[in-house]
Protein backbone atom coordinates (compact mmCIF):
# COMPACT_ATOMS: atom_id res chain seq x y z
CA UNK A 1 0.00 0.00 0.00
CA UNK A 2 1.05 3.61 -0.57
CA UNK A 3 1.30 5.80 2.53
CA UNK A 4 1.32 9.57 3.05
CA UNK A 5 2.54 10.78 6.47
CA UNK A 6 1.25 14.11 7.79
CA UNK A 7 3.51 15.79 10.38
CA UNK A 8 4.22 19.27 11.74
CA UNK A 9 7.29 18.87 13.90
CA UNK A 10 10.24 16.63 14.67
CA UNK A 11 8.87 13.58 12.83
CA UNK A 12 10.30 10.90 15.13
CA UNK A 13 7.17 8.82 14.47
CA UNK A 14 7.78 9.20 10.73
CA UNK A 15 11.37 8.06 11.39
CA UNK A 16 10.19 4.92 13.22
CA UNK A 17 7.75 4.11 10.42
CA UNK A 18 10.32 4.75 7.67
CA UNK A 19 12.88 2.50 9.39
CA UNK A 20 10.34 -0.34 9.65
CA UNK A 21 9.45 0.06 5.97
CA UNK A 22 13.14 0.20 4.96
CA UNK A 23 13.87 -2.96 6.98
CA UNK A 24 11.02 -4.79 5.26
CA UNK A 25 8.97 -5.23 8.44
CA UNK A 26 6.09 -3.27 6.88
CA UNK A 27 5.02 -4.17 3.34
CA UNK A 28 4.20 -0.66 2.23
CA UNK A 29 5.90 2.39 0.78
CA UNK A 30 5.89 5.89 2.22
CA UNK A 31 5.30 8.02 -0.86
CA UNK A 32 4.94 11.46 0.67
CA UNK A 33 5.35 13.59 3.77
CA UNK A 34 2.80 16.42 4.03
CA UNK A 35 3.85 19.22 6.38
CA UNK A 36 2.35 22.59 7.32
CA UNK A 37 5.64 24.00 8.58
CA UNK A 38 8.32 24.61 5.90
CA UNK A 39 11.09 24.44 8.51
CA UNK A 40 9.99 21.33 10.42
CA UNK A 41 12.70 18.76 11.12
CA UNK A 42 10.48 15.99 9.71
CA UNK A 43 11.38 17.35 6.25
CA UNK A 44 15.05 16.62 6.92
CA UNK A 45 14.13 13.10 8.00
CA UNK A 46 12.05 12.63 4.83
CA UNK A 47 15.02 13.70 2.68
CA UNK A 48 17.21 11.17 4.48
CA UNK A 49 14.79 8.45 3.36
CA UNK A 50 14.38 9.95 -0.14
CA UNK A 51 10.68 10.49 0.56
CA UNK A 52 9.00 13.27 -1.40
CA UNK A 53 7.71 16.17 0.70
CA UNK A 54 4.82 18.57 0.20
CA UNK A 55 4.90 21.63 2.44
CA UNK A 56 2.31 24.37 2.62
CA UNK A 57 1.61 27.48 4.66
CA UNK A 58 -1.99 27.51 5.89
CA UNK A 59 -2.05 31.31 6.17
CA UNK A 60 -1.59 31.58 2.40
CA UNK A 61 -5.02 30.00 1.92
CA UNK A 62 -8.45 31.52 2.35
CA UNK A 63 -9.58 28.54 4.42
CA UNK A 64 -8.67 25.13 5.80
CA UNK A 65 -10.88 23.60 3.11
CA UNK A 66 -8.88 25.37 0.38
CA UNK A 67 -5.53 23.75 1.22
CA UNK A 68 -7.18 20.42 2.02
CA UNK A 69 -8.74 20.36 -1.45
CA UNK A 70 -5.29 20.78 -2.96
CA UNK A 71 -3.86 18.05 -0.75
CA UNK A 72 -6.67 15.58 -1.50
CA UNK A 73 -6.20 16.11 -5.26
CA UNK A 74 -2.49 15.35 -4.89
CA UNK A 75 -3.07 12.28 -2.70
CA UNK A 76 -5.56 10.90 -5.23
CA UNK A 77 -3.20 11.61 -8.12
CA UNK A 78 -0.51 9.63 -6.28
CA UNK A 79 -2.84 6.74 -5.47
CA UNK A 80 -2.31 7.09 -1.71
CA UNK A 81 -4.06 4.24 0.15
CA UNK A 82 -3.40 5.29 3.75
CA UNK A 83 -2.88 8.61 5.51
CA UNK A 84 -0.88 8.45 8.76
CA UNK A 85 -1.19 11.54 10.97
CA UNK A 86 1.92 11.57 13.19
CA UNK A 87 2.24 14.84 15.04
CA UNK A 88 0.18 16.81 12.53
CA UNK A 89 -1.02 19.77 14.58
CA UNK A 90 -3.86 21.04 12.40
CA UNK A 91 -7.55 20.20 12.70
CA UNK A 92 -8.92 18.46 9.63
CA UNK A 93 -12.24 19.08 7.91
CA UNK A 94 -14.61 16.78 6.02
CA UNK A 95 -12.77 17.72 2.81
CA UNK A 96 -9.97 15.41 3.95
CA UNK A 97 -11.90 13.07 6.26
CA UNK A 98 -14.76 12.18 3.89
CA UNK A 99 -12.73 10.62 1.06
CA UNK A 100 -10.26 8.95 3.46
CA UNK A 101 -12.47 7.81 6.31
CA UNK A 102 -11.31 4.29 7.27
CA UNK A 103 -7.97 4.95 5.51
CA UNK A 104 -6.65 7.70 7.77
CA UNK A 105 -5.15 7.04 11.20
CA UNK A 106 -3.68 9.19 13.97
CA UNK A 107 -1.40 8.49 16.91
CA UNK A 108 -2.15 10.23 20.19
CA UNK A 109 0.09 10.22 23.31
CA UNK A 110 -2.63 9.18 25.79
CA UNK A 111 -5.16 6.40 26.30
CA UNK A 112 -8.19 7.90 24.53
CA UNK A 113 -10.86 8.84 25.38
CA UNK A 114 -8.76 10.18 28.24
CA UNK A 115 -6.80 13.36 27.65
CA UNK A 116 -7.65 14.23 24.01
CA UNK A 117 -6.36 17.32 22.23
CA UNK A 118 -3.07 19.04 22.78
CA UNK A 119 -0.60 18.07 25.49
CA UNK A 120 -2.09 14.66 26.25
CA UNK A 121 1.12 13.84 28.11
CA UNK A 122 0.91 16.86 30.39
CA UNK A 123 -2.81 16.36 31.01
CA UNK A 124 -2.21 12.83 32.37
CA UNK A 125 0.66 14.04 34.54
CA UNK A 126 -1.34 16.99 35.92
CA UNK A 127 -4.34 14.77 36.59
CA UNK A 128 -2.24 12.38 38.69
CA UNK A 129 -3.04 9.35 36.54
CA UNK A 130 -1.01 6.22 37.30
CA UNK A 131 -1.25 4.70 33.82
CA UNK A 132 -1.33 6.48 30.47
CA UNK A 133 -0.04 5.44 27.06
CA UNK A 134 -0.48 5.79 23.30
CA UNK A 135 -3.49 5.28 21.04
CA UNK A 136 -3.77 4.71 17.30
CA UNK A 137 -7.25 5.47 15.97
CA UNK A 138 -9.09 6.16 12.75
CA UNK A 139 -9.62 9.87 12.12
CA UNK A 140 -13.21 11.06 12.09
CA UNK A 141 -14.68 14.58 12.15
CA UNK A 142 -13.82 15.14 15.79
CA UNK A 143 -10.56 15.69 17.65
CA UNK A 144 -9.06 12.34 18.67
CA UNK A 145 -12.56 10.80 18.68
CA UNK A 146 -12.38 8.18 15.90
CA UNK A 147 -12.66 4.40 16.40
CA UNK A 148 -9.68 3.02 18.33
CA UNK A 149 -7.45 0.46 16.57
CA UNK A 150 -4.83 -0.24 19.25
CA UNK A 151 -3.44 1.12 22.52
CA UNK A 152 -0.27 0.58 24.51
CA UNK A 153 -0.09 1.36 28.25
CA UNK A 154 2.72 3.28 29.92
CA UNK A 155 3.16 3.54 33.69
CA UNK A 156 3.48 6.99 35.26
CA UNK A 157 6.11 7.04 37.99
CA UNK A 158 6.03 9.42 40.99
CA UNK A 159 9.12 11.34 39.90
CA UNK A 160 8.11 11.57 36.23
CA UNK A 161 8.37 14.92 34.49
CA UNK A 162 6.83 15.97 31.17
CA UNK A 163 10.15 15.05 29.54
CA UNK A 164 10.65 11.63 31.15
CA UNK A 165 7.02 10.60 30.68
CA UNK A 166 6.96 12.02 27.14
CA UNK A 167 10.05 10.04 26.22
CA UNK A 168 8.56 6.82 27.58
CA UNK A 169 5.28 7.41 25.70
CA UNK A 170 7.13 8.10 22.49
CA UNK A 171 9.05 4.84 22.89
CA UNK A 172 5.65 3.10 23.06
CA UNK A 173 4.50 5.04 19.99
CA UNK A 174 7.51 3.87 17.97
CA UNK A 175 6.35 0.29 18.59
CA UNK A 176 2.58 0.81 18.32
CA UNK A 177 2.31 2.86 15.13
CA UNK A 178 4.48 0.63 12.91
CA UNK A 179 2.65 -2.43 14.28
CA UNK A 180 -0.76 -0.98 13.31
CA UNK A 181 0.45 0.22 9.90
CA UNK A 182 1.80 -3.29 9.29
CA UNK A 183 -1.59 -4.80 10.13
CA UNK A 184 -3.33 -2.38 7.75
CA UNK A 185 -0.78 -3.14 5.00
CA UNK A 186 -1.65 -6.85 5.43
CA UNK A 187 -5.37 -6.07 5.16
CA UNK A 188 -6.04 -7.36 8.67
CA UNK A 189 -7.91 -4.37 10.10
CA UNK A 190 -11.67 -4.13 9.64
CA UNK A 191 -13.95 -1.32 10.81
CA UNK A 192 -17.66 -1.77 11.57
CA UNK A 193 -19.21 1.29 13.17
CA UNK A 194 -16.96 2.00 16.15
CA UNK A 195 -15.80 -1.63 16.30
CA UNK A 196 -12.31 -2.32 14.96
CA UNK A 197 -11.24 -5.95 14.48
CA UNK A 198 -7.73 -7.24 13.79
CA UNK A 199 -8.19 -10.41 11.72
CA UNK A 200 -5.61 -13.18 11.30
Pick 10 or 93: Cβ nearer ligand GRF: 10
* CB of 183 vs ligand GRF, minimal distance in Å: 18
User: For ligand GRF, which stretch binds (CB under 6 A), given 10-18, 48-56, 62-70, 125-133?
Assistant: 10-18
End-to-end CA distance of the chain: 18
Which are the catalytic amino acids? 108
Is residue 12 within the footprint of ligand GRF (CB under 6 A)? yes
Q: Give me the 141-180 binding string for ligand GRF, x by CB under 6 A, dash otherwise.
A: -----------------------------x--x-------
Complete DSSP assignment for 75-103: HHHTT--EEEESS--S---HHHHHHHTTS
Cα–Cα distance measured from residue 80 to residue 7, given in angstroms and rounded to the nearest whole number: 16
Cα–Cα distance measured from residue 128 to residue 105, given in angstroms and rounded to the nearest whole number: 28
Among 4, 18, 67, 108, binds ligand GRF (CB under 6 A): 108
Reported in sequence order, the residue ranges of the chain that DSSP labels E, i.e. its strands, are 2-7, 29-35, 52-55, 82-85, 104-108, 131-138, 148-155, 189-192, 195-198
Is residue 93 within the footprint of ligand GRF (CB under 6 A)? no
Cα–Cα distance measured from residue 39 to residue 44, given in angstroms and rounded to the nearest whole number: 9
Is residue 102 within the footprint of ligand GRF (CB under 6 A)? no
Largest Cα–Cα distance in the chain? 50
User: For ligand GRF, which stretch binds (CB under 6 A), given 6-14, 31-39, 54-62, 71-79?
Assistant: 6-14
Known binding positions for (6R)-10-formyltetrahydrofolate: 64, 89-92, 106
| Interface residue list for ligand GRF (CB under 6 A) | 7, 9-13, 86-87, 107-109, 170, 173
Amino acid sequence: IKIAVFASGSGSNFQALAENVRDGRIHASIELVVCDKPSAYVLERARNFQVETYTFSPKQYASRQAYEEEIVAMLQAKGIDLIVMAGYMRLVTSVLVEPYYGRMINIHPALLPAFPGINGVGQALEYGAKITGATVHFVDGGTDTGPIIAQQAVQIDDQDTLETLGARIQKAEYELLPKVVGWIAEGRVSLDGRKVTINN
